[in-house]
């Protein structure tokens, strides 16, 4: 039997493990919400520690709390920031929709740890979780603030750098593959030629646009609800409190956090979080498209498209010897699917802004932070284990171009659409190339036909077979 102690809250006594730093309200939440076994992730707990530390410092500056007590709270909060007290954060994600249980979890842990730093036992309340640690705050402004801070920090400092790395990687491949001509494909059917480098330049641009949208979404996350307390009015907080705390958070994180322009919007709605999730979903959609293209272009190695050669990273089959699968692309597209699903839940969560408070904030925070973490890790692994070692099969690319019936497209300006279509059809029926059929039918002089069916000019604007001035 483990040793226990008694803790009290406004509803009475609760028994907690003797070594636990949390108190009665946390213990009630543990009993009430044994739902998923998932707690708030480390970035969120770190953000809570930042808020509590900044609050204690600010309340000390404002003369609202004794110095010794404030310093103990700040020291305990630092341990929350570093993760030293993570084992004491025990409340499930699926809890009260305001996140009050987790805010009180933080308040109780910090209060009891601060008491220990002051040489007193946990539970005696020389540092009170509400009166001292939560001074000038409400769960209703602390939890969304922690959500914004943690999401913004993780997007800006983890995900965006990972995306910049693969944008650079795609750009390097675009240059390396620029002279390789391959067949384009639309509707999964042959289309006119394109340079492989052009394809990869498109991937680089997709990632660049995803980064731009994420950075735009960050602007809303930089607005913090702290200072609104219960319903946005700021009751029970000093008017200077929020700005001072937020200034400290901005300095620590290096991000331009600021107090919300309108606390009623900032507290009653979670539109900024919804927009951030939408940007994450958009990023996932782009990455899914890219990863899917790469695995299809690398299909084979002998009986598929085979235009790309993906790095082999592990055996692909428990029954087929020698098989190698595109596992890094498959991992990435599964992550993208999860992020898209997370966004659906965030969208529903955003609808739950009832009057002055959203009541699905733990779900919002969990899904957004999971999306950021999954994307950041998957993108990094994809870059290291697939993109950097990706190669092209030049011979395969160029041989498929010559075999394509879409080569007849270049003939249309010179001989007309119907005649070009007839040549393509005959090429299909006879198994010959468009070049062979066109030559046999004598539709153009040999030199002109050679010039028009040169695939390189087909990858640029203009009319095949003519100079730019002629065109």
pLDDT in tens, 322-376: 999 999 999 999 999 999 999 999 999 999 989 999 999 999 999 999 999 999 9
User: Would you say 208 and 199 are in contact if contact means Cβ atoms under 8 Å apart?
Assistant: no
Can you give the pLDDT at residue 123? 76
Given this model, what pLDDT does residue 69 score?
A: 97
Domain span holding position 174: 141-394
188: in domain: yes
Residue 278, in any domain of the structure? yes
pLDDT tens digits for range 293-327: 999 999 999 999 999 999 999 999 999 999 999 99
399 domain-assigned: no
For residue 244, give the CATH number of its domain.
Answer: 1.20.200.10
Is residue 190 left, alpha or beta, with left meaning phi > 0 and alpha meaning psi from -120 to 50? beta
Q: Percent of the chain, pLDDT > 90?
A: 96
> Quick one: 210 exposed, middle or buried, by C-beta within 10 A (0-12, 13-18, 19+)?
buried
Which residue(s) pair with 194 in the sheet? 182
Mean pLDDT to the nearest integer, 418-433: 97
Mean pLDDT of 110-118: 97
Q: What pLDDT sits at residue 470?
A: 53
- Residue whose token pair is 């002279």: 179
| pLDDT score, position 468 | 54
Query: Which pair of structure tokens corresponds to residue 253?
Result: 């994180």
Q: Say if residue 328 is in the same domain as residue 364.
A: yes
> Is 387 contained in some domain?
yes
0.75 cut: is pTM over it? yes
Q: Which two tokens stand for residue 140?
A: 């209703």
Q: Which helix (H) or strand (E) holds 185?
A: strand 181-186
* The token pair that represents 85 in the structure block: 């007290």
- Asked if residue 326 and residue 256 are part of one domain, the reply reads yes
Quick one: pLDDT at residue 2?
A: 82
- Catalytic pick from 139, 317, 318, 331? 317
pLDDT for the residue 122: 79
Mean pLDDT, to the nearest integer, of 462-466?
Answer: 84
Cα–Cα distance, 93 to 366 (Å, whole number): 7
Quote the mean pLDDT of the chain.
96
- 69 inside domain: yes
- Does residue 356 lie within any of the structural domains? yes
pLDDT (average), residues 250-260: 98
Number of domains the chain is built from: 3
Whether residues 311 and 380 share a domain: the answer is yes
Out of 394, 427, 447, a domain closes at 394
Nearest to 409 by CA among 461, 463, 446: 463
Choose the final residue of a domain: 135, 162, 196. 135
Same domain, residue pair 163 and 307: yes
Verify that 435 and 332 share a domain, yes or no: no
Residue 1 scores a pLDDT above 80? no
Q: Give yes or no: residues 219 and 235 share one domain.
A: yes
Over 80: is that where the pLDDT of 465 sits?
A: no
Question: What is the band of 195 on the pLDDT scale with cuts at 50, 70, 90?
Answer: very high
Position 125 scores a pLDDT of: 85
Confidence (pLDDT) at 38: 97
Domain match, 348 and 426 both: no
Q: What is the pLDDT of residue 467?
A: 58
| Residues 152 and 218 both lie in one domain | yes
467 inside domain: no
- CATH code, domain carrying 80: 1.10.275.10
Active site residue 187: yes
Say if residue 386 is in the same domain as residue 448.
Answer: no
Report whether 305 contacts 298 (CB < 8 A): yes
- Mean pLDDT value across residues 155-164: 98
Q: Which of 77, 88, 132, 187 is labelled catalytic?
A: 187
pLDDT at 53: 98
For residue 464, the model assigns a pLDDT of 83
Quick one: 120 and 192 in the same domain?
Answer: no
In terms of domains, do 146 and 111 share one?
no
* In a shared domain, residues 298 and 339: yes
pLDDT digits 0-9 by tens, 199-246: 999 999 999 999 999 999 999 999 999 999 999 999 999 999 999 999
In this structure, are residues 127 and 118 in contact, taking their beta carbons and an 8 Å threshold? Answer: yes
Asked whether the beta carbons of 288 and 280 are under 8 A apart, the reply is no
Whichever domain contains 424, its CATH number is 1.10.40.30
Q: Does residue 317 carry a catalytic annotation?
A: yes
Beta bridge partners of 244: none
pLDDT at residue 149 above 60? yes
Domain limit, last residue, from 71, 104, 135? 135
Whether the Cβ atoms of residue 137 and residue 355 lie closer than 8 Å to each other = no
In a domain, 469, yes or no: no
């Amino acid at each position: 039997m483990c040793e226990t102690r008694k803790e009290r809250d406004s509803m009475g006594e609760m028994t907690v493990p003797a070594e636990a730093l949390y108190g009665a309200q946390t213990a009630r939440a543990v009993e009430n919400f044994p739902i998923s076994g998932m707690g708030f992730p480390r970035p969120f707990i770190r953000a809570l520690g930042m808020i509590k530390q900044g609050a204690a410092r600010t309340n000390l500056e404002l003369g609202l709390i004794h110095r010794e007590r404030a310093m103990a709270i700040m020291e305990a909060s630092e341990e929350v920031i570093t993760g030293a007290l993570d084992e004491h954060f025990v409340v499930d994600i699926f809890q009260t929709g305001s996140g009050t249980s987790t805010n009180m979890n933080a308040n109780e842990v910090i209060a009891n740890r601060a008491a220990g730093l002051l040489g007193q036992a946990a539970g005696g309340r020389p540092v009170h979780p509400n009166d001292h640690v939560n001074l000038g705050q409400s769960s209703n402004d602390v939890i969304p603030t922690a959500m914004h801070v943690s999401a913004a920090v993780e997007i800006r400092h983890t995900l965006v750098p990972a995306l910049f790395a693969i944008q650079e990687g795609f750009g390097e491949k675009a240059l390396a593959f620029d002279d390789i001509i391959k067949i384009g494909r639309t509707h999964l059917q042959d289309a006119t030629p394109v340079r492989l480098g052009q394809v990869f330049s498109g991937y680089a641009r997709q990632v660049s646009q995803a980064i731009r949208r994420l950075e735009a979404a960050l602007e809303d996350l930089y607005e913090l609800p702290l200072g609104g307390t219960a319903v946005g009015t700021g009751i029970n907080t000093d008017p200077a409190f929020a700005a001072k705390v937020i200034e400290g958070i901005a300095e620590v994180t290096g991000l331009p956090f600021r107090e919300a322009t309108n606390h009623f919007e900032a507290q009653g709605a979670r539109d900024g979080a919804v927009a951030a999730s939408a940007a994450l979903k958009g990023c996932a959609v782009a990455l899914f498209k890219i990863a899917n293209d790469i695995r299809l272009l690398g299909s084979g190695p002998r009986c598929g498209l085979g235009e790309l050669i993906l790095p082999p990273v592990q055996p692909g089959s428990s029954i087929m010897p020698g098989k190698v699968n595109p596992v890094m692309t498959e991992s990435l597209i599964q992550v993208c699917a999860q992020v898209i699903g997370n966004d659906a839940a965030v969208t529903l969560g955003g609808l739950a802004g009832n009057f002055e408070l959203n009541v699905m904030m733990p779900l919002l925070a969990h899904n957004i932070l999971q999306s950021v973490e999954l994307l950041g890790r998957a993108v990094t692994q994809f870059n290291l284990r697939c993109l950097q070692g990706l190669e092209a099969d030049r011979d395969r690319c160029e041989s498929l171009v010559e075999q394509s019936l879409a080569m007849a497209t270049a003939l249309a300006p010179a001989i007309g659409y119907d005649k070009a279509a007839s040549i393509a059809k005959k090429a299909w029926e006879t198994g010959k190339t468009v070049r062979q059929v066109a030559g046999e039918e004598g539709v153009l002089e040999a030199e002109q036909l050679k010039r028009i069916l040169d695939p390189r000019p087909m990858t640029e604007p203009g009319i095949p077979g003519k100079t730019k001035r002629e065109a």
